[in-house]
Amino acid sequence: MVFSVSMSDRIISVARKYVGRSFDYENFNCVHFVRETYQNVGINLPRLERNLYPPADFHLSSEEFVLMPIGHSVFFRRKSTLSNRVWTHVAIIISSDELIHCSCHCGKGVVVTVRSEFLEVYALTSKLANNS
């Protein structure tokens, strides 16, 4: 899924309104944040299950991620996780070098993180990236 410039701008505007909101695993985690942001601009994010691949329209190949398409959601695995889940985190790309996400590992809530810092904690797995 590729967003128009105006849709990308709307997504970023809504997402930024959440900066500073606290992380709560049960009531407001990374999935809740992305789902609410998208719902506020009229996009319905399908139900996400962490043991299944995300819907193709809502995840990026490694080549697409390098391009950092603004407004797009992207799914990752935390590098230090012991979980066997396909993905453990989702974020929204808000600039050519920044992601916004709700995390308990990069701050304690909704934060904007520079891509290089984000990739110190999270990795786009090749298996996930190749399942488009």
Which range of residues forms the domain containing residue 21?
Answer: 5-129
Q: What is the chain's length?
A: 132
Whole-number pLDDT of residue 35: 94
Residues 63 and 74: their CA atoms lie apart, in Å, by 12
Residues 25 and 37: their CA atoms lie apart, in Å, by 17
pTM: 0.88
Contact call for residues 18 and 102 (beta carbons, < 8 A): yes
CATH code, domain with 105: 3.90.1720.10
Contact call for residues 111 and 97 (beta carbons, < 8 A): no
User: Can you give the pLDDT of all 132 residues of the chain as single tens digits?
Assistant: 678 999 999 999 999 999 999 999 899 999 999 999 999 999 998 888 877 888 777 777 777 888 888 999 988 888 887 778 888 899 999 998 999 999 887 778 999 999 999 888 888 765 444 444
Count how many domains the chain has. Answer: 1
Count of CB atoms within 10 A of residue 86's CB? 18
